[in-house]
């Protein structure tokens, strides 16, 4: 059996690493882009020395012990804990919604129990059913309408170019709501940034004598050379694999505007969200704040920021987010049925699986797929 992995993102890299190290088989990894790491890719800005996440901020966080154990073989992590701020109506608030946000927004100084009772009253005003049917209902059923309208509604419209009533409730479940002053964006047991950066992590994952990586190589470039009995682990667009024969899946893309500023600190934090509709971008990332331990770079009078603009995906754009509504879920199902006709093709990764996965979920799935479908 020969092994091919299409795409050197996190799912594909873990699959390749497992095949190489656990089965002692050779794997060819082809990657369309000039670099490995998929959307986790990072590189150092030459002028400032700042390590930049080239496809937006990536913070590793997980509560899955097997994932944490696995990934720590290839990198150690800093103790960075992600916090996010958001600008609304000329003021800065803490995200995810927590006791700071609630008290700041309402101009109160409620205790945790008082805040719970107060927000419960706000929620009750809406008279929603027990099962939220969409993102708007999910948000209002957790934080009430005023907070939803301030921090969620317009940001979500910008991000998805859809009404929150037309988006799945699950997207909202990504954000915790807290009645304490804990401002962590994630609630996971383990969090951090790879100490030597994402580029190094991927180099290490794929650094095995059994693994050959070819960048700047698309699946189409090698498709005709793949023997029919080879195993192909495909992490590209599922509809593209089948020539879009059943229709096109919807994705969201992003556009980044990069700026270097000759100041030590541009915005005082890694991520500032922009909640309101009068600003076209959704957030500004300032990457040096991910590595305060890199003291020299951190103290220097240069910083790199990037403004993140949501973008309608068109063929040829990078796909960032699946849009898991009814139509796309059904279409993806239909493509998986096509894929199942060829047992030598496995779809995976955020694109291949059409799932809004975080990095740890992609690793968990890759480890599971390896154990159940690939390992002999």
Can 148 be counted among the known catalytic residues?
no
* Residue 154 C-beta: closest distance to ligand UDP, Å: 8
Q: Which is nearer to ligand UDP, 151 or 234 (CB)?
A: 151
* Residue 275 C-beta: closest distance to ligand UDP, Å: 6
List the interface residues with ligand UDP, window 43-102 (CB under 6 A): 86, 95
Any contact of residue 362 with ligand UDP (CB under 6 A)? no
- Per DSSP, the residues of 243-289 read TTTT----EEEEEEEEEEESSS-SSSSSEEEE-STTSS-SEEEEGGG
Any contact of residue 275 with ligand UDP (CB under 6 A)? yes
Tokens of 268: 């005082």
Any contact of residue 305 with ligand UDP (CB under 6 A)? no
Can 308 be counted among the known catalytic residues?
yes
Q: Which is nearer to ligand UDP, 18 or 252 (CB)?
A: 252
CA atoms of 144 and 11, how far apart (whole Å): 37
Q: Which is nearer to ligand UDP, 18 or 285 (CB)?
A: 285
List the interface residues with ligand UDP, window 122-181 (CB under 6 A): 151-152, 155-156, 159, 171, 174-175
Tell me the backbone φ, ψ of residue 286, rounded to 5 degrees: -125, 105
Of 358, 354, 345, nearest to 15 by C-alpha is 345
Bridge partners, residue 285, by sequence = 271, 306
How buried is residue 280: exposed, middle or buried, by Cβ count under 10 Å (0-12/13-18/19+)? exposed
Bridge partners, residue 44, by sequence = 51
- Catalytic, out of 18, 178, 185, 350: 178
CA atoms of 350 and 365, how far apart (whole Å): 10
Q: Which is nearer to ligand UDP, 172 or 304 (CB)?
A: 172
* Residue 127 C-beta: closest distance to ligand UDP, Å: 22
CA atoms of 228 and 204, how far apart (whole Å): 30
Can 358 be counted among the known catalytic residues?
yes
Active site residues: 174, 178, 252, 283, 308, 356, 358
Return residues touching ligand UDP (CB under 6 A): 86, 95, 151-152, 155-156, 159, 171, 174-175, 273, 275
């Amino acid at each position: 059996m020969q092994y091919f992995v299409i795409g050197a993102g996190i799912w594909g890299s873990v699959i390749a690493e497992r095949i190489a190290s656990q089965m002692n088989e050779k794997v060819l990894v082809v990657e369309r882009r000039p670099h490995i790491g998929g959307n986790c890719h990072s590189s150092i800005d030459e002028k400032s020395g700042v390590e930049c996440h080239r496809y937006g901020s990536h913070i590793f966080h997980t509560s899955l012990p097997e994932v944490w154990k696995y990934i720590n073989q290839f990198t150690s992590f800093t103790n960075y804990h992600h916090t996010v701020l958001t600008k609304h109506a000329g003021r800065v608030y803490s995200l995810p919604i927590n006791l700071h946000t609630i008290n700041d927004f309402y101009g109160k100084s409620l205790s945790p129990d008082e805040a719970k009772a107060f927000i419960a009253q706000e929620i009750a005003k809406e008279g929603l059913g027990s099962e939220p049917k969409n993102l708007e209902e999910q948000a209002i059923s957790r934080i009430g309408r005023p907070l939803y309208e301030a921090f969620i509604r317009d940001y979500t419209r910008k991000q998805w170019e859809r009404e929150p009533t037309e988006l799945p409730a699950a997207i909202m479940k990504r954000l915790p709501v807290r009645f304490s002053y804990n401002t962590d964006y994630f609630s996971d047991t383990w969090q951090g940034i790879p100490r030597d950066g994402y580029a190094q992590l991927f180099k290490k994952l794929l650094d095995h004598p059994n693994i050959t990586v070819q960048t700047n190589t698309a699946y189409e470039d090698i498709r005709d050379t793949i023997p029919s009995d080879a195993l192909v682990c495909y992490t590209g667009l599922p509809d593209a694999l089948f020539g879009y024969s059943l229709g096109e899946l919807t994705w969201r893309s992003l556009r980044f505007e990069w700026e270097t500023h000759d100041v030590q600190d541009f915005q005082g934090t890694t991520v500032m969200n922009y909640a309101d509709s009068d600003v076209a971008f959704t957030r500004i990332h300032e990457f040096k704040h991910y590595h305060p331990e890199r003291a020299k770079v951190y103290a220097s009078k240069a910083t790199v920021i990037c403004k993140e603009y949501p973008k309608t995906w068109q063929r040829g754009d990078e796909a960032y987010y699946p849009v898991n509504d009814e139509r796309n879920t059904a279409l993806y199902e239909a493509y998986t049925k096509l894929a199942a006709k060829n047992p030598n093709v496995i779809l995976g990764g955020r694109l291949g699986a059409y799932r809004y996965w975080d990095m740890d979920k992609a690793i968990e799935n890759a480890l599971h797929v390896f154990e159940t479908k690939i390992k002999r």
